[in-house]
Amino acid sequence: MEDRLPFGSELIDRVGWLINLRWLAVAGTLLAIGPTAVWFPGSLPFGTLLGITIAIAAYNGLFRAHLKAIRRTLLEEVQNRQASGSALGQIILDLCTLIALVHFSGGIENPMVWFLVFHIIIASILLPHGTSYWIAALAGALLITMTSLEVGGVWAHHHLPLLGVELYDEPLYLLVFVGGLVLVLFLVAYLTTSIAIRLGERDRELMTSNQTCQLRSQELKELNDRLRRVDEERTRFMVLVTHELRAPISTIYSALELALSGVASAEKTRDVLERAQKRAAELLDLIRDLLNLTRIREQTTTRDQAEEVQVDDLLREVAEFMKVEAEGKGLLLEVDIAPDVAPVQALPNQIKLVWTNLLSNAIKYTESGGRVWASLTQDDEKVRGVVRDTGMGMTPEDLSHIFDEFYRAENARKVSPHGTGVGLSIVQRTVEHWGGTIEAQSELGRGSTFTFVLPRADR
């Protein structure tokens, strides 16, 4: 039944509206009692009527305080339940006090008896829809009981002085009036309940549509933000690529122009062509790295294309290849691989690229006489690869940007002016694409450590 109630704060507001109406009713009743007592002294028990009105004001104050407490409740479900209970209690008390006021001011002779209909309407708005019929039954029972007790002489009838005719002397009229009013109460309960049901359904349809629109709006906003970031990243990528390509191409062009001019000697021409060849090789490295970065960025490979890859075999292969470069630079390259390392789900060439980039950087930025370690271990869920060196290290500022595309630390530029700055970005994107993570630790002048983990394929 609760799902048919007005929504959360709306129900609380309607209960507050009922309380405010009751203050008006109290004021109206007092305004009616005063002049009547002056014009028709002794005709009605004005003290009793005043006491009932004060009682209405008193419990209305209590309900107002209770409503404030309900508003402080954090859970909407609890708010809804308490507000609904408060509304039911108020309506029942109103019916009882209204019948009491009517009894002491003329019984069914008093037009105030028609305010019973008003309470049925209020019940249909504030309470679960079936409850309004019970409220109609209670109102009808109270009306019939009052009339019966007055007609039977159990309760003294107080004739309304405004009427010259004593309606209680007409039994047929009493029967028709009371029966008709009870019928009206149930008809009003039916009509207002039907209207409330339809309005509630419409409210819920509007609420659902509004929630759907908000959800779609949020999705569109997120999509727009994503597109904006992609566009910004694409623009930045193009600017950086253009910048990186311009220098080697300019060098190659100048060298060829000088060689073709015939101005330089044969020895000078050879030297210029060798420099052009070196820059062309750097340019090829840059293009290779850009192609690898583009493939990784576009995530062109999926898990359906993956296979079980033995990370330890790839590490041995890369380390064997890199050992020549390390020995030529006077470095000690050590490899430590745990036994029976589980495979990971990936593509072999991409994992090989991870090892190649990490070991190549470690060797490149470690001075002669230093050491480079590569290790591979595993636990119950992950395979862990570590590459550590005793090289020049990085500052905290450089470390925070080390995985950014085209970023190179200042000391790295001094050691190798023509690096691309995309190797570690490729490593990070590759590891994360296959469900892993990578982190870097470094201290300036004391080396760096790169650690990546990948999920085991057998888990």
Q: Tens of pLDDT along 311-332?
A: 999 999 999 988 988 998 899 9
pLDDT tens-digit series, residues 234-258: 776 676 667 667 767 877 888 788 7
pLDDT of 296 over the 70 cut? no
- Does residue 205 lie in a domain region? yes
What is the C-alpha to C-alpha distance for residues 273 and 17, in angstroms, rounded to an integer? Answer: 92
pLDDT of 192 over the 90 cut? no
- Does residue 196 lie in a domain region? yes
pLDDT tens-digit series, residues 86-144: 889 999 999 999 999 999 988 888 888 999 998 898 888 888 878 889 999 999 999 99
Which of residues 191, 218, 245 is at a domain's end?
A: 218
- Does residue 51 lie in a domain region? yes
Whether residue 162 sits in one domain with residue 18: yes
Q: Mapping DSSP to helix (H, G, I), strand (E, B) and coil, where does residue 220 land?
A: helix
Average pLDDT over residues 50-66: 93
Parent domain of 383? 305-455
The residue that leads in pLDDT, 279 or 383, is 383
CB of 98 within 8 A of CB of 120?
no
Whether residue 309 sits in one domain with residue 214: no
pLDDT tens-digit series, residues 371-423: 999 999 999 899 999 999 998 898 888 888 888 776 777 767 666 655 566 77
Q: Which long-range contacts (CB under 8 A, 24 or more apart) does 245-253 make?
A: 245/283, 245/286, 248/279, 248/280, 248/282, 248/283, 248/286, 248/418, 249/283, 251/275, 251/276, 251/279, 252/276, 252/279, 252/280, 252/283
- Does residue 289 lie in a domain region? no
The confidence band for 44, taking pLDDT boundaries of 50, 70 and 90, is: confident
Whether residue 210 sits in one domain with residue 96: yes
Average pLDDT over residues 49-56: 93
What is the C-alpha to C-alpha distance for residues 407 and 428, in angstroms, rounded to an integer? Answer: 13
- Does residue 300 lie in a domain region? no
Residue 160's pLDDT is: 77
Which of residues 193, 218, 243 is at a domain's end?
A: 218
Q: Count how many domains the chain has.
A: 2
The residue that leads in pLDDT, 292 or 456, is 456
The residue that leads in pLDDT, 161 or 149, is 149
Whether residue 193 sits in one domain with residue 57: yes
Residue 134's pLDDT is: 92
Whether residue 327 sits in one domain with residue 213: no
pLDDT of 343 over the 60 cut? yes
Whether residue 144 sits in one domain with residue 24: yes
Residue 4's pLDDT is: 45
Whether residue 313 sits in one domain with residue 184: no
Whether residue 143 sits in one domain with residue 34: yes
Lowest mean pLDDT, pick from 75-89, 166-180, 357-371, 415-429: 415-429
Residue 225's pLDDT is: 84
Counting every residue written for the chain, the total comes to: 459
Residue 304's pLDDT is: 62
- Does residue 238 lie in a domain region? no
Whether residue 212 sits in one domain with residue 322: no
Residue 212's pLDDT is: 86
Whether residue 210 sits in one domain with residue 329: no
The residue that leads in pLDDT, 74 or 193, is 193
Lowest mean pLDDT, pick from 204-208, 222-226, 247-251, 298-302: 298-302
Q: Mapping DSSP to helix (H, G, I), strand (E, B) and coil, where does residue 42 land?
A: coil
Summary mean pLDDT of the chain? 84
Angle at 6 between CA 216 and CA 139, to 5 degrees: 165
How many whole angstroms from its chain centre is CA 206?
A: 21
Whether residue 207 sits in one domain with residue 324: no
pLDDT of 339 over the 60 cut? yes
What is the C-alpha to C-alpha distance for residues 205 and 69, in angstroms, rounded to an integer? Answer: 31
Whether residue 212 sits in one domain with residue 314: no
Residue 2's pLDDT is: 40
Kindly give the pairing relationship between strand 307-309 and strand 344-346: antiparallel
pLDDT of 426 over the 90 cut? no
N- to C-terminal Cα separation, the chain: 48
What is the C-alpha to C-alpha distance for residues 50 and 26, in angstroms, rounded to an integer? Answer: 10
Residue 273's pLDDT is: 84
Q: Which CATH number goes with the domain that contains 324?
A: 3.30.565.10
Residue 244's pLDDT is: 64
Nearest to 374 by CA among 353, 361, 354, 388: 388
pLDDT of 183 over the 90 cut? yes
Which of residues 184, 218, 252 is at a domain's end?
A: 218
- Does residue 65 lie in a domain region? yes
- Give the list of residues 6+ apart from residue 373 with CB closer than 8 angstroms, or none: 334, 335, 336, 386, 387, 388, 389
What residues form DSSP beta bridges with 448?
442
Residue 370's pLDDT is: 93
How many whole angstroms from its chain centre is CA 223?
A: 16
- Does residue 299 lie in a domain region? no
pLDDT of 261 over the 90 cut? no
The confidence band for 5, taking pLDDT boundaries of 50, 70 and 90, is: very low
Q: Is the C-alpha dihedral spanning 198, 199, 201, 202 positive or negative?
A: positive
